Structure 1
Amino acid sequence: MPFVESFLSTVKSNKSIMLDKSKHFRKTMGGYKWSGKDQFNFSEATPEQLTEVRDKLLKERKKRNIKLGIVLLVIVISIWIILSLK
């Protein structure tokens, strides 16, 4: 039966490909094994750096909220104008 033989050979080749990929993923930093060691060495942030980041994020959020408010206002006004013309 050629169909069964080709099916079995396809399954075997797919298994070998997947095994190769799983070995590759185990070698990466975020692999499957947990070594218990620190994988990343981040420096500690100073209070000044934290306040700078906080202020920057607050400014970005304020800008985004203003833009969102303007867009929503334009949409509401345009819908109101369209409905009032009918």
Structure 2
Amino acid sequence: MEAGAAVIAVLASLWRRVLPWLTLAAAILLFVVGARRRGEQAGRAAERLEKLERTNHARQRMLEAGADRPRNRDDFVERLRKGGF
């Protein structure tokens, strides 16, 4: 029985020494995984922002082109005669 108690004592001592290191390793691993996930989210947000800016730029160009259009057929014909297109 004394051999079993000695083994348990050694394991308990070893566990007390290893537990803080395991906790530290787990904390570091969780930090790295969280940082990676945040980086991926930031990348996706940047892509969405870039796409939104392109869309808004195209929409703005269409609105500007529409603002410069002829108002009626007579304006259109006059513009064609002047070579405005």
TM-score bucket of the superposed structures, by smaller chain = 0.3 to 0.5
Query: Which of the pair is proportionally richer in helix?
Result: 2
With structure 1 as the length reference, what TM-score do the two structures score? 0.47
Whichever of the two has the greater Rg, that structure is 2
